[in-house]
Amino acid sequence: MGHRRRIPGCRMLITGASQGIGRALALLAVRQGAMVLAAARSGDLLRQLAAEARGGPGTLEIVEADVTVPEDRHKMAAAMVEYFGGLDVLVNNAGIGATGHFAEVSPERLRKIMEVNFFGLTETTRVCLPLLKRGDRPAIVNISSIAGKRGIPARSEYSASKFAVQGFSEALRCELAKDNIDVLVVCPGLTQTNFSKNMLEQKARLQLDHLRGMTAEEAAAAILKAIRKGRDETWLTWQGKLMAWVSRLFPRVADRFAASRVRALFRDEIEAREQSRRQRTQVPTHLV
């Protein structure tokens, strides 16, 4: 467990703040008295967010920035100093996804996902570390996923990026203990956001029903609670917790279940391949 902290007066940078969990988190933090810099690529959506946040006990400023662009990462850090004089909590929330089987998609897609979900996160953290070292009860909050605890078929690239976030966070937590900087990880499950609509591609045969998940506001409340209590790791939704625990305690069961689901989806293809194999190995009758 890390340090407990108060949200009122906390200076917070949230990436990917124009939609979904990031947007809900920015609004909730401002309503609880935080000083928030909301960063995202869409200026129009950020301005809508700023208008909605007016009148709260906290303060919200915006900055158009892409976490994959070095200059933009430095722009976010400079904006924190300009608006609030420093940084206490960095929330690395920006992320993208895609679905489809690894063998059927381009290598460029994997590199794009890793560039945003992993390298954008790590390099934003690197730029912000000098500010965090001077912050009040500082923390880095990495928004991972239940897919970072259990690889999900047809989401191998996204899962890989979140597993990378998980490993980076665990190592960094120990490295930054000497600086009294907490590294917290939050793993959302299915969430009612536009994440699936904003994916690079959707090629999975089985689509996950995000409408059955928790709301973005519920996820935001859980993230703020983790920040207040200094929880090293938080798993969201009961389905996500079940998946993570089964994967941890009974990995072979989880593997068999996932493989059976894939086989069921590709039953026709598997049967056609088997039929073709039998035909190739069948001995012609005139040779008997």
Complete DSSP assignment for 132-197? HTTSSS-EEEEE--GGGTS--TT-HHHHHHHHHHHHHHHHHHHHGGGGT-EEEEEE--SEESSTTT
**Do residues 31 and 56 make contact, with C-beta atoms less than 8 angstroms apart?**
yes
Query: How is residue 257 written in tokens?
Result: 């279940």
Per the DSSP assignment, residues forming a β-bridge with 13 are 37, 90
Cβ partners under 8 Å of residue 167, min gap 6: none
The pLDDT assigned to 245 comes to 78
- What would the pLDDT profile of 222-277 be if each residue is shown by its tens digit? 999 999 999 999 999 878 778 777 777 777 876 676 666 656 655 555 455 666 67
**Do residues 206 and 253 make contact, with C-beta atoms less than 8 angstroms apart?**
no
The pLDDT assigned to 197 comes to 62
The pLDDT assigned to 99 comes to 83
The pLDDT assigned to 1 comes to 78
pTM for this one? 0.85
Catalytic positions are 18, 144, 158, 162
- What would the pLDDT profile of 198-216 be if each residue is shown by its tens digit? 666 666 655 654 556 789 9
Whether the per-residue pLDDT at 221 is higher than 70: the answer is yes
What is the DSSP track for 41-109?
S-HHHHHHHHHHHTTSSSEEEEEE--TTSHHHHHHHHHHHHHHHSS-SEEEE------BS-GGGS-HHH
**Residue ranges of domains in the chain, CATH in brackets:** 11-239 (3.40.50.720), 250-283 (no CATH)
Mean pLDDT of the chain: 87
Query: How is residue 270 written in tokens?
Result: 């598997």
- What would the pLDDT profile of 112-135 be if each residue is shown by its tens digit? 999 999 999 999 999 999 999 999
More confident residue, 211 or 27: 27
The pLDDT assigned to 62 comes to 98
- What would the pLDDT profile of 134-176 be if each residue is shown by its tens digit? 999 999 999 999 889 888 888 889 999 999 999 999 999 999 9
The pLDDT assigned to 242 comes to 80
